[in-house]
């Protein structure tokens, strides 16, 4: 009976150590920020605020990709595009403070 207890105790200890090393499965306690260490994006992240602005697609421009097939990002043009409503433009200027489209 002593031998069984020793094996069970060692097995339980190894299980406990592996749970501590990997986290208990509850991401809130394992990482209080809930952020992916590679991307910095949290699982509780909200969509960008500009998506709540009416007609945002009519107001925003797009960056040129740095390489062919590269990423394209939305940006704020220096001047309000014609089809962009004034109220939307005012809101988007608050959201895109330092993200103006660059002329290349």
What is the residue-wise DSSP string for the chain? Answer: -HHHHHHHHHHHHHHHHHHHHH--S-HHHH-TT-B-TTT--BTTPPPPGGGGSTTHHHH-EEPPPSSTT----EEB-SS--TTS-HHHHHHHHHHTTT-BPPP-
Range of the domain at 21: 1-45
Q: Please indicate, yes or no, if residue 100 is contained in any of the structural domains.
A: no
Report the number of distinct structural domains present in the chain.
2
pLDDT (tens digit per residue) in 28-87: 444 455 655 655 566 677 888 999 999 999 999 998 888 889 999 899 999 999 999 999
pTM over 0.75? The answer is no
pLDDT at position 94: 92
Q: Are residues 40 and 56 in the same domain?
A: no
């Amino acid at each position: 009976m002593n031998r069984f207890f020793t094996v069970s105790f060692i097995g339980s200890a190894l299980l406990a150590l592996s749970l501590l090393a990997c986290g208990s499965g509850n991401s809130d306690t394992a990482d209080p920020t809930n952020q992916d260490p590679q991307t910095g994006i949290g699982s509780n992240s909200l969509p960008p605020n500009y998506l709540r602005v009416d007609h945002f697609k009519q107001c925003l421009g797009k960056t040129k990709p740095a390489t062919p097939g590269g990423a394209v990002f939305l940006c704020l043009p220096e001047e309000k595009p014609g089809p962009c409503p004034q109220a939307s433009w005012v809101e988007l200027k608050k959201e895109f403070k330092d993200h103006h489209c660059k002329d290349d």
